[in-house]
């Protein structure tokens, strides 16, 4: 009996740990994707011609079409301070001053995510992410927004833990409406009695004869709750053991099942922790990890003594891979591209996929710029290839933007914006090349 109760306590302790970790994994994944879109929107908003009011708003809006197509947004649009809006789709003017997201961004003067919008034509769930423009006196002076499919932002397949059995992950809005997933609990009770305005937490509950741990995290920008509901007995044992955990009547039978499923075997938490830092598709680090790594780098390094490189790589023609050869081939291209990057940058480097076909390479303690240039040339050569299926053939290459750490770019955002500007210039130069930001020598690196 002592063994029984000690083991039961272990089960509950581990169940709580795993519920929290699965929920944290989902939260990081969803938050990372939201943050990626916000960062991308801010980068587009910082382009000089986008804010140049000497250019008609319709013309500026239409110039955003390449970004819409590259990132597969439903649209990108510019709004003036009165809510008149021009999009990358049509370039006309529409009055959106009555939209809640416009009222909110005008009042708060900060990034805003709209409530879920149901498309009248497709029935798809969409959201709008809005970034404000402020004048020199910090008054609201218009905005830029992107409209995206919710499915592009959230893909809940219960893939955040070591098993896909016995738990569900759901996203609810502030009114407990389901945005994604399938939470079976009492939404109102969850709202009023359990979450109670706390940004995160975990609680234990008995429901329908089963024992559950429920963990939650709140994404502040969107006011979404990420909920993980783990059925303890189903997760560890399956349906049969539910009764055995709730009522300890058949002790011998319980011990036999207990031994059969080897609950005493240690559940490894570290692999799950490690997985929270990784991009599931490419096997590289995710953006959250890279941001934290660079933040810590600037805390410990004196930049006058160390020089590091921040590199953004974008796969040219990747959209055609997905459109013509299918997303399975697209996934393969992402994985193979990641392997090529790892083959070249295997020392003093942190490699991250931050979304879509975009990779970042952060290289520390560079002794000679020529080493980086030679590695970039090798990578451009490896990336210059083609993929085919059913007599269809799509050629890809890479465009690369490079910047180096200085005393003027001491944050992830600083480095990203500089390298992203360089990436844009590489694309303007014809793609299949690299551009070095603020280079005193020839900024373009091309294959001979």
Q: What is the pLDDT of residue 141?
A: 93
Q: What is the pLDDT of residue 53?
A: 85
What distance in Å separates the CA atoms of residue 220 and residue 205, rounded to the nearest whole number? 25
Check: CB of residue 41 under 8 Å from CB of residue 146.
yes
Q: Is the pLDDT of residue 20 over 80?
A: no
What is the token pair recorded at 164?
A: 């896909």
Question: Could you give phi then psi for residue 321, rounded to 5 degrees?
Answer: -60, -50
> pLDDT tens for residues 37-60?
888 888 888 888 888 888 899 989
The closest alpha carbon to 357, from 340, 375, 377, 345, belongs to: 340
Q: What is the pLDDT of residue 26?
A: 73
What is the token pair recorded at 396?
A: 């890809």
What are the start-end ranges of the H helices in 345-393? 369-383
Q: What is the pLDDT of residue 246?
A: 46
Q: What is the pLDDT of residue 212?
A: 76
The closest alpha carbon to 199, from 179, 180, 223, 182, belongs to: 223
Lowest-confidence region among 111-115, 193-197, 234-238, 262-266: 262-266
Q: What is the pLDDT of residue 9?
A: 62
Q: Is the pLDDT of residue 223 over 90?
A: no
Q: What is the pLDDT of residue 19?
A: 73
Task: State CA 70 to chain mean position distance.
Answer: 17
Q: Model-level pTM greater than 0.75?
A: no
Lowest-confidence region among 2-16, 46-60, 145-159, 434-448: 2-16
Lowest-confidence region among 88-97, 247-256, 283-292: 247-256
> pLDDT tens for residues 301-338?
665 567 889 999 999 999 898 888 888 888 889 999 99
Q: What is the pLDDT of residue 243?
A: 45
Q: What is the pLDDT of residue 187?
A: 55
> In terms of residues, how long is the chain?
448
What distance in Å separates the CA atoms of residue 245 and residue 434, rounded to the nearest whole number? 61
What distance in Å separates the CA atoms of residue 142 and residue 151, rounded to the nearest whole number? 28
395 CB-contact burial (10 Å; exposed 0-12 / middle 13-18 / buried 19+) = middle
Q: What is the pLDDT of residue 88?
A: 86
Q: What is the pLDDT of residue 214?
A: 77
Handedness of CA 228, 286, 356, 294 (dihedral sign): positive
Q: Is the pLDDT of residue 345 over 80?
A: yes
H/E element holding 310?
strand 309-316
């Amino acid at each position: 009996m002592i063994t029984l109760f000690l083991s039961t306590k272990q089960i509950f302790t581990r169940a709580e740990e795993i519920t929290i970790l699965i929920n944290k994994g989902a939260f990081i994944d969803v938050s990372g994707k939201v943050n990626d879109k916000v960062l991308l929107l801010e980068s587009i908003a910082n382009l000089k011609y986008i804010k140049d009011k000497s250019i008609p708003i319709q013309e500026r809006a239409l110039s955003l079409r390449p970004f819409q197509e590259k990132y597969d947004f439903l649209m990108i649009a510019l709004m003036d301070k009165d809510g008149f809006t021009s999009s990358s789709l049509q370039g006309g003017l529409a009055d959106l001053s009555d939209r809640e997201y416009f009222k909110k961004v005008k009042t708060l003067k900060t990034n805003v995510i709209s409530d879920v919008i149901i498309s009248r034509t497709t029935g798809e769930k969409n959201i709008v992410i809005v970034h404000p423009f402020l004048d020199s006196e910090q008054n609201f002076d218009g905005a830029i927004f992107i409209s995206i499919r919710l499915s592009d932002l959230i893909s809940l397949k219960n893939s955040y833990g070591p098993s896909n059995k016995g738990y569900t992950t759901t996203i609810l809005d502030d009114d407990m409406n389901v945005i994604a997933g399938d939470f079976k609990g009492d939404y109102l009770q969850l709202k009023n009695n359990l979450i109670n305005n706390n940004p995160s937490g975990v609680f234990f509950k008995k429901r329908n004869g089963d024992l559950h741990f429920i963990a939650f995290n709140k994404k502040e920008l969107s006011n979404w709750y990420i909920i993980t509901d783990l059925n303890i007995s189903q997760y560890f044992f399956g349906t049969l053991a539910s009764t055995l955990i709730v009522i300890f009547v058949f002790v011998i039978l319980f011990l036999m099942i207990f031994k059969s499923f080897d609950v005493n075997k240690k559940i490894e938490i570290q692999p799950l922790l490690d997985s929270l830092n990784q991009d599931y598709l490419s096997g590289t680090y995710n953006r959250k990890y890279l941001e934290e790594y660079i933040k810590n780098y600037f805390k410990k390094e004196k930049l006058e003594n160390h020089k590091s490189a921040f590199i953004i790589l974008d796969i040219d023609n990747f959209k055609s891979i997905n459109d013509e050869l299918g997303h399975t081939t697209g996934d393969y291209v992402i994985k193979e591209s990641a392997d090529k990057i790892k083959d070249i940058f295997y020392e003093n480097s942190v490699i991250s996929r931050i979304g879509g076909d975009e990779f970042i390479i952060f290289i520390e303690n560079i002794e000679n710029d020529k080493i980086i240039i030679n590695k970039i040339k090798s990578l451009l050569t490896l990336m210059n290839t083609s993929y085919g299926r059913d007599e269809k053939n799509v050629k890809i290459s890479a465009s690369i933007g490079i910047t180096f750490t200085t005393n003027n770019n001491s944050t992830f955002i600083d480095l990203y914006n500089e390298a992203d500007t360089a990436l844009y210039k590489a694309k303007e130069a014809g793609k299949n090349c690299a551009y070095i930001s603020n280079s005193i020598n020839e900024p373009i690196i091309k294959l001979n």
